Amino acid sequence: MAVRTGTLATNAALHWATLDRRAARWAARWAARRGRLAVVLHEFVCFGIKQARACLFGGCMLALLLSTWAWYPPDMWLARYDFMVLAALALQVALIAGGLETREEARVILGFHLVGTAMEVFKTAMGSWLYPEPSVLRIGGVPLFTGFMYAAVGSYIARAWRLFDFRFVRHPPFAATAWLALAIYVNFFTHHFLPDVRWLLFGALTWLFGRTWILFRIRHVHRRMPLLLGFVLVALFIWLAENVGTFAAAWRYPAQRHGWAMVPLGKLGAWLLLMVISYVMVSAVARRHKR
């Protein structure tokens, strides 16, 4: 059965790859016949398509949050949060079986699920945010679907790394980035009892990655941008997604208990730091593959 499932996933992946190549060749020929502006537009569209593919898991999770908020029956025997746990698991299996996600990416998602859930259990116990609906599949005050929301960040980075063929200029040593990620993770816990050192962490982040460029390939040529800018842009989109999640009542901050309001922009910094943890975990996997 495992062999059969693996064969189906491989065949599906090859099928999608063949369709991608054919569509890319046709679009490239169409753009080349229409001049430079069409080529630029074609590359921009290709960039958007690859980004959408990289966001596949996270986009599906957001769609799940919104659809269950809008249409899930409140008197259903299975709680909404528990339904989302089962739906997220089914989504994970479907993506692997369809060849849209690799097993390595699935393992990365599992790692993020564990790291995120551990922090969620602590944060909810400290009153940082809450999950207002009942559920059975939970640890303390944390429904198990929440780990998939953290995993969606790792899934995006892992898929983008593969789809855009990431390369780097003046990247800091892995050991230094790993220590930074560990310090960030520890500070998420300790700042409730000790002074918050996030500004020192921002400084360390800038010092380590301030001179680093990321090279990403949309079609044939690698483009580049400062890696720090990439971190900020990803954190911004996570913050926007968090607003969608709180709007759908998946979780609520204390200020949102009596009605929804925009998540404070200050949370952007927290997401930037958390995203760095995700990046370092994915880079560890990529580093192992290069050996």
User: What's residue 259's pLDDT?
Assistant: 84
Residue 145 phi, psi (nearest 5): -65, -20
Strands (E), 98-191: 138-139, 142-143, 167-169
Between the alpha carbon of residue 178 and those of residues 173, 224, 239, 280, 282, the distances in Å are 9, 24, 24, 6, 11
pLDDT one-digit tens code per residue, 21-51: 554 554 455 455 554 666 677 778 888 888 9
SS3 181: helix
Cα–Cα distance between 175 and 77 in angstroms, integer? 49
SS3 101: coil
pLDDT one-digit tens code per residue, 81-133: 999 999 999 988 888 887 777 777 777 778 888 888 999 999 999 999 999 99
Cα–Cα distance between 282 and 164 in angstroms, integer? 14
pLDDT one-digit tens code per residue, 150-165: 888 888 998 899 899 9
The mean predicted confidence, pLDDT, of the chain is 85
The pTM of this model reads 0.84
SS3 167: strand
Q: Which of 23, 13, 289, 8 is nearest to 161 (CA)?
A: 289
| Banded pLDDT at 144 (limits 50, 70, 90) | very high
Report the half-sphere exposure of 29 (CA within 13 A, side-chain side). 5
pLDDT one-digit tens code per residue, 198-227: 999 999 999 999 999 999 998 778 899 999
